[in-house]
Amino acid sequence: MRTDPNIIVTGTPGVGKTTHAEVLAERTGLRHVSVNQVVKDRECHEGWDDEYKSWVVDEDKLLDALEEDNVKAGGCIIDWHGCEIFPESWIDLVVVLRVDSSTLYDRLSSRKYPEVKLQENIDSEIMEVLLQEARDSYDEHIVVELTSNSTDEMESNVDRIEAWIRQWKQDRAADGGQ
Ligand code: ADP
In a domain, 145, yes or no: yes
CA distance 124 to 127: 5
Look at ligand 1, atom 17, and give the residue with the nearest C-alpha: 16
Amino acid at 156: S
C-alpha closest to that of 60 among 29, 31, 39, 90: 39
Does residue 109 have its Cβ closer than 6 Å to ligand 1?
no
In a domain, 66, yes or no: no
The count of domains in the chain is 1
Question: What are the tens digits of pLDDT across the range 58-92?
Answer: 999 999 999 999 999 999 999 999 999 999 999 99
Share of the chain above pLDDT 70, in %: 99
Question: What are the tens digits of pLDDT across the range 26-66?
Answer: 999 999 999 999 999 999 999 999 988 889 999 999 999 99
Ligand 1 mutation target, pool 15, 17, 19, most atoms within 8 A of CB: 19
What CATH number corresponds to the domain at position 117?
3.40.50.300
What's the pLDDT at 176?
73
Task: Identify the domain containing residue 133 by its residue range.
Answer: 7-30+75-166
